Amino acid sequence: MKKFVNSVGEILHESLAGFAHCHRDIVALDSDFRFVRRAQRKTGKVALISGGGSGHEPLHAGFVGYGMLDAACPGQIFTSPTPDQIVAAAEAVDGGAGVLLIVKNYAGDVMNFTLAAEMLPNAQTVLTDDDVAVERSTHTIGRRGVAGTMVVEKVLGAAAERGDSLAALKDLGTRVNNSTRSMGVALTSCTVPAAGRPTFDVGDDEMEMGVGIHGEPGRRRVSPLMPADAIAAEMVSAVVEDLGPNSGQEVLLLVNGFGATPMLELYLMYDAARRHLETRGLRITRGLAGNYVTSLDMAGCSITITLLDGEISALWDAPVHTAALHHGI
Amino acid sequence: MKKFVNSVGEILHESLAGFAHCHRDIVALDSDFRFVRRAQRKTGKVALISGGGSGHEPLHAGFVGYGMLDAACPGQIFTSPTPDQIVAAAEAVDGGAGVLLIVKNYAGDVMNFTLAAEMLPNAQTVLTDDDVAVERSTHTIGRRGVAGTMVVEKVLGAAAERGDSLAALKDLGTRVNNSTRSMGVALTSCTVPAAGRPTFDVGDDEMEMGVGIHGEPGRRRVSPLMPADAIAAEMVSAVVEDLGPNSGQEVLLLVNGFGATPMLELYLMYDAARRHLETRGLRITRGLAGNYVTSLDMAGCSITITLLDGEISALWDAPVHTAALHHGI
């Protein structure tokens, strides 16, 4: 296993400690490692909390800060955070206007965030399930929540900052999630440290089309490797046909790397996706490429499209100051 | 070769096109792909230009924008840009106060930037050579310029923005370079697309200590893999002993990934380096971790330390708005 590690049991704590020190102007780490919260607490607004298994960095802790999340709860690698982590985070950041939990649709996350919500006095939940690849997966009933979660967190973060109510944020989050679709492809497997070997076998000339962010199976195993244009075409088709936009629709294009794919290739995929979207008459007015919602050391990427309107575009553009996303401040 | 690619000959142009579209609010791409420049030209200041072989993204084009570079010249992968690229970039961005060329110390880059400088009416050069691993390498006489180049570009970018003269910038750049040292380690080789196979062989339980950013040999081949703490200790020792700081010295710590190492591991390495620096009595007052100066799809990282003073710290903190580095605006 080719990783920077001291002991498998300490990876998460050591990484969180490094993250918190590196970004101590933005975040603070709970002394029991239960959550990462903003360094400066803000009252009078709805507190946004997300979380999930670790191994997807910078999701979620990298999105804690002004204009996005108030706290994030990191579970062990690919393991949901516990309800008591989520409750502790909520108690630390609830500024009196309630707590919105943003939850990726995986069985463990849904169960633990639901349990936590029942223990909190004023909490609502937004579920993300943007992955069009499969309708049911290893850890999921229904669609998986993947890179589109970042879009939901950004838009809701801006809306919370302007003072939206808990009910309004839940409605907006549901709307953004329903306007957002993703699909991914893996060129290599990830390796979970505790397992010490790749999660799945994939040959030198094979790839997994529609892969999940834990290495869950996708739609099909492809061999030989397809050209980048054909890969982008298949992912764009799946996403756009599911969304069913009108011609001329404005969209956000997010090309997300899974952790081991460099920017040279992500921008090449961005260009391929752009051409396919423009051929379909769509207008890319917002764009982003980078390793944002990763799968440990997996090589591969996903394409996410969000249908934009004036409100969602303005919230996407609004100032944000987090470790992993920063603009307008 | 597991990469997103259509044809090897088109990788660079397609990737640059995607980059330029994604960040069209910040940058513009020359129609002949010779350079990337700021979308908004700024006159009355010294123009900062860098460049080098591609495959190190986001270096250098990702650092074009307010507070950092005015233009970047991308060569083919691991190949220096040509003098005419550099001259064309200078002509596009020279705002009347001269041009400063920031050049990593590789034979090809030094030759081509020197030729370009001789063709320009008012140009100076700052050479970066921060890699302490070896004194002479495959493509280099003297030390290699690696991740510290990013620090030089950020500090000089802020100084140019405040109106420093060409001569002052050359002096400052030399001072920052002399205050900056790096060392890297590779867990895997990179694969140059045109070669189609790994640049060097490294076994499943081996690593290359002191590797260069093109996969050049380092100080020694290590087997078995060392724990992260021991790796960080060796790199921190090499860097700090070369710099010879006083106890209590303020430093910048940059943990830079080589392209295929995820943030989970980079933050773990950041924490390990932090502990070693603090044990040595150094004070980390600025920090950064991420994939900034990469080697295609190499797994590995480097540690860079810059000795800080009030001026360099203030310039590091100054507002910057580029594709890959953004704060304070």
Per residue in A208-225, pLDDT tens?
A: 999 999 999 999 999 999
pLDDT at B329: 62
User: Which residue is closest to A206 within chain B, CA to CA?
Assistant: B2
* Mean pLDDT confidence for A234-244: 98
pLDDT at B139: 81
CB within 8 Å of chain B, chain A residues 152-211: 187-188, 204, 207
Question: What is the strand order of the sheet B250-257 is part of?
Answer: B220-222, B207-209, B180-186, B300-307, B250-257, B283-290
The percent of residues above 70 in pLDDT, for chain B, comes to 100
Alpha carbon distance A63, A111 (integer Å) = 23
- CA pseudo-torsion sign B286, A321, A131, A54: positive
Span B84-137, pLDDT tens digits: 999 999 999 999 999 999 999 999 999 999 999 999 999 999 999 999 999 888
Q: What is the mean pLDDT of chain A?
A: 97
pLDDT at A81: 98
A260 touches chain B (CB under 8 A): yes
B150 touches chain A (CB under 8 A): no
Do B252 and B287 touch, CB atoms closer than 8 A? Answer: yes
What ipTM score was computed for the predicted complex, to two decimals? 0.98
Q: Tokens for B48, please give them.
A: 């900062």
Q: Is residue A187 predicted with pLDDT exceeding 70?
A: yes
How does B179-214 read in b/e, with b if 16+ C-beta sit within 10 Å? Answer: bbbbbbbbbbbbbbbeeeebbeebeeebbbbbbbbb
pLDDT at B76: 97
- Mapped to the 3 state alphabet, what secondary structure does chain A carry? CCCCCCCHHHHHHHHHHHHHHHCCCCEEECCCCCCEEECCCCCCCCEEEEEEEECCCCCCHHHEEECCECEEEEEEECCCCCHHHHHHHHHHHCCCCCEEEEEECCHHHHHHHHHHHHHCCCEEEEEECCECCCCEECCEECCCCCCHHHHHHHHHHHHHHCCCCHHHHHHHHHHHHHCEEEEEEECCCCECCCCCCECCCCCCCCEEECCCCCCCCCCEEECCCCCHHHHHHHHHHHHHHHHCCCCCCEEEEEEEECECCCHHHHHHHHHHHHHHHHHCCCEEEEEEEECCCCCCCECEEEEEEEECCHHHHHHHHCCEEECCCEECC
Q: Is residue A152 predicted with pLDDT exceeding 70?
A: yes
List all residues 6 or more positions away from B244 whose beta carbon is below 8 Å from its beta carbon: none
B283 touches chain A (CB under 8 A): no
Span B204-250, pLDDT tens digits: 999 999 999 999 999 999 999 999 999 999 999 999 999 999 999 99
pLDDT at A140: 81
**Predicted TM-score of the model (pTM):** 0.98
Q: Classify residue A40 as exposed, middle or buried by CB count within 10 Å of its CB (0-12, 13-18, 19+).
A: exposed
pLDDT at A329: 62
Q: Is residue B254 predicted with pLDDT exceeding 80?
A: yes
Alpha carbon separation from A277 to A251, B124, B245, B325 (Å, rounded) = 9, 44, 54, 28
Catalytic residue among B23, B56, B60, B276: B56
pLDDT at B68: 98
pLDDT at A112: 98
Using a CB-CB cut-off of 8 Å, the residues of chain B touching A231 are: 4
Span A97-150, pLDDT tens digits: 999 999 999 999 999 999 999 999 999 999 999 999 998 888 888 999 999 999
Do A319 and A67 touch, CB atoms closer than 8 A? Answer: yes
Please answer yes or no on whether B18 and A271 come within 8 Å at the CB atom: yes
User: Which residue is closest to A263 within chain B, CA to CA?
Assistant: B57
